[in-house]
Amino acid sequence: MASRRAPAARPPAAPEIPQEEIDRQVQRAVERTLARNIPGLRMPAPDLDLDVGQTPKELVYARDTLRLYHYKPMLDEIYRVPLLVIMSPVAKGYILDLAPGQSLIEYLVLQGYDVYMVDWIAPRREHAALGIEAFVSGMIDEAIERVAADAGEREVTLVGYCMGGLLSCLHAALNPKSGLKNLVCFTTPINADGMTLYKQWVNSRAFDIDRLVEELGVIPGEMINASIQALRPFQRSANQLQLLNNVDNDAFVKANLRFDRWAADQLPLPGELMREFVREFLRGNKLITGDFHVGDNVVDLGKIRVPFLHVAAEYDHIVPTAASRDLIGLVGSKDKQEIVVKGGHVSLVAGGNAVYRLWPQLDRWLAPRSV
């Protein structure tokens, strides 16, 4: 007797999955696998927008291209004398406040300093006529007064970075009785003979600074950036290759991209400031000859008598030590010191080297002079 076999149950029909869903799931699986195995491919770039300049701050004063910020104190007891950091007009201030743990500003606030910063915004055409006098005797002077009033103190310590250091020196020399307590300059250009490439370019008769300023009004940031890149033309390419070699190191990738972003983020410069910088400083080298004018006043760095610290970087290619080492001799202070640390123009103040090399030295110098 032939047994009757029950008809085989038909397998349930496979649910129809849209092709888009399959693509999406495959893409997710690939992304997850890549993210697990190759950390560098996690693309840290998008969140970099959020993690620069994170130390809490408030805007205290705004005028022309100047923005004065006050960093909120984090301790219950702070040093008496407030610190005012003057950034270079061609660079954004977040290089000093890159990320928590890598921020000079955060470090100073945590050491108990009352920190203010003059940061600059991109000048517009209406700012094209702002020259050295407008910066030194106008904006910086006003910023110091605002800091003194805000902190309720008569004395202020100035800390200038690069061209901000130059502006701070000019201010200190022209206003020796302005309530300045200390002056600190980071890698500050004083002797144009040490900046050979720029000097060669601007001394050429074919370089017409007046025409450049009249045509453009405001010198574009790209032009400033290109002139800085020219000092080490292959550095950027080398950085990119180094980034590839360290793509599996998340911390390296993040730090590198932050620096890279800042380096490409140059501010434009008011034409008049550029013209005066070229004429008075690069061509005339007048700080060395003693003939540097701000308005009608001649600058004599010997009139700076407050405690003075100059910090230079041994491998700085933007402001080589040959361009900055005369500063310590020209300043008239009795209490003066120069520190030369290993590093470059930027790694002097930011990055791993700065954390261990410069910051503690800066604190040791400032602390006894801030009470």
Partner 1 sequence: MSDDKELNPVRLWREWFVKSEKAWSQAMTDMMGDERFSKGMGRYMQEALHTHRMFSESMAQYLANLNLPSRQDILDLSDRMGQVEDALAAVQVELRELRTRIAQGVSAAPASSERPKPARTKRPPEIS
Give the interface with partner 1 as residue ranges (CB under 8 A): 58-62, 67, 72-73, 75-80, 112, 114, 121-122, 124-126, 151-153, 196-197, 200-201, 203-208, 211-212, 215-216, 230-235, 237-238, 241-242, 244-245, 248, 367-368, 370-371
In the bound state with partner 1, the residue whose beta carbon lies nearer, of 261 and 369, is 369
In the bound state with partner 1, the residue whose beta carbon lies nearer, of 129 and 328, is 129
Rounded least distance, CB 62 to partner 1, Å: 4
Alpha helix segments (H runs only) across 230-351: 235-245, 250-263, 271-276, 286-289, 321-324, 327-330
Is 169 a residue of the active site? no
Neighbours of 38 (CB within 10 A): 11
Rounded least distance, CB 125 to partner 1, Å: 6
Q: Coil, strand or helix: which one is 211?
A: helix
Residues linked to residue 311 through DSSP beta bridges, in sequence order: 186, 339
In the bound state with partner 1, the residue whose beta carbon lies nearer, of 22 and 367, is 367
Q: Coil, strand or helix: which one is 312?
A: strand
In the bound state with partner 1, the residue whose beta carbon lies nearer, of 25 and 242, is 242
Rounded least distance, CB 239 to partner 1, Å: 8
* 237 alpha-carbon distance from chain centroid: 21
Whole-angstrom distance, CA of residue 197 vs CA of residue 283: 12
**Listed residue (82, 52, 1) closest to 369, CA to CA:** 82
In the bound state with partner 1, the residue whose beta carbon lies nearer, of 3 and 204, is 204
Whole-angstrom distance, CA of residue 93 vs CA of residue 78: 23
Neighbours of 290 (CB within 10 A): 12
In the bound state with partner 1, the residue whose beta carbon lies nearer, of 169 and 224, is 224
Rounded least distance, CB 370 to partner 1, Å: 8
Whole-angstrom distance, CA of residue 253 vs CA of residue 244: 9
**Listed residue (143, 162, 369) closest to 262, CA to CA:** 162
Q: Coil, strand or helix: which one is 158?
A: strand
Tokens of 186: 């980071």
Rounded least distance, CB 241 to partner 1, Å: 4
Reading phi first (left if > 0) and then psi (alpha if -120 to 50, else beta), residue 272 is in alpha
Among 162, 172, 278, 311, the active-site one is 162
Residues linked to residue 86 through DSSP beta bridges, in sequence order: 118, 160
Rounded least distance, CB 347 to partner 1, Å: 14
Catalytic annotation, residues: 162
